[in-house]
Chain A
Amino acid sequence: MTTLATIALGTADVGFRGRILALDMQRAQGAGLPGAELERRLIELGFVEGATVELLHQGLFGGDPIAVRVAATTIALRRREAMAVMVSHEAMP
């Protein structure tokens, strides 16, 4: 398994697979919530370090919102908030 790059989930394309490295509220300045609250909501929906993510679907306009498989759950969110989720791109075995 090779780690290729670290990117924000908010910039990923459909089909992207990876693993969550960190939650960085500094990256989601445009989000509709203060950082501390956004971080807690993301964690409550399963976005924690180490969880696998896969970008399944995106909307028609601006590729927004996105549907993300986080471990065993599918979550819909906007790219603006997904910017806070730092992920490593993994080549799947």
Chain B
Amino acid sequence: MSGRMRHGWQKSRRSFLRIGSAAAGAVVLARRAAIAGESSPPAESDWTRAVGPGVVDRTYGQPSKFEKDVIRRNVPWLTATSQSSVSFTPLQSLDGIITPNGLFFERYHAGRADVDPRQHRLLIHGLVERPLVLTMDDIVRFPSVSRIHFIECPANGGMEWRGAQLNSLQFTHGMLSCAEWTGVKLSTLLDEVGLKKEAKWVLVEGADAARMNRSLPIEKCLDDCLVVYGQNGEALRPEQGYPLRLLVPGWQGNVNVKWLRRIKVGDAPWFTREETSKYTELMPDGKARGFTWVNEAKSVITFPCPEKPLSAPGRYEVRGLAWSGRGKIKAVDVSFDGGVNWQSAQLQEPILSKALTRFTIPWQWGGQPALLESRVVDETGYVQPTIAQLRKVRGTNPIYHNNSIQTWQVKPDGKVFDVQLG
């Protein structure tokens, strides 16, 4: 096979020798350019002149080596250890509504558990007729569904409550990802064990070293929660709870318990550490809000952004993402003047409930300073607030649920900065 290829190449070399001297001169120039490492026409690039590696050279595909900077990143000063911490999705480098599995943001309470699926068990007990121990094989046999949903940590943007701190889309909004999830409806499993009539709340618990546990009201469990094993067509990644996690569409990331090993049905909430000491919002009057599960509608412009500035004046497509824990996106408006005037952006299909939705709007940038903002309206009619509107009600200490409008300042040189307006 390789001999025949070589023969063919020699033949084409011979035909080169027969062509006119002017053209031959151009070829020589082109070959020199190629040697100099250029690949724009008329030159030929190295990868065009040589046969590449064959199939199964990489048995599990990886991104191009030129994408090596597109990685999850952390904020080292944020947490005491990397095992109880968070990493951020590089939204500035992603296209579409689906987050690649390797770039899905991470949040651990006691590090990543590497679970053997053959040994993993899901125990369902409490106020049920038939307490069950299920293997992964058992779980996969149940009727399955696939749904596209985002997961957002409620602390996304939490470092911006007091002011603009992080000059980066990845770090202001990257505790957000979206995937197609496949699994069994939680309601199917609860039907199978049979709920007793006093059943009002459910405790979900992980198999990680934190045995992470949260309470959920039975209404949500029976509505749209899923127990999932598939993520974008393959098994969940260990970072996302392999082999089994809970998916609670639209609700704060923390309740989407990973490495799910236990579901206990009860008649009252547990008030676990993660729903009292953490994941509660302190208000200016000293009161704290708990059980604030839903992620309200939010949007952000992903281009331009601090990581992706404008190169020169001209025509651009401003791009962004919008999402709501209450349902579908109805509209996104974009302002170029800090919220004085707004224009309707184009929503991209598909527009799915509790999923990321793309929006775009064309922009002729003349090189003048600009203040870019996006504002989402969801199907309930809820309009995304400004940070000033949020602070007026909630002060600066809630940590969680900052769903405010993001302002990007574009300077005349095209650089972009995270700012807040008064």
Do the two shown chains form a genuine complex with each other?
no
Which residues does B use to contact A, with CB under 8 Å? none
Which residues does A use to contact B, with CB under 8 Å? none
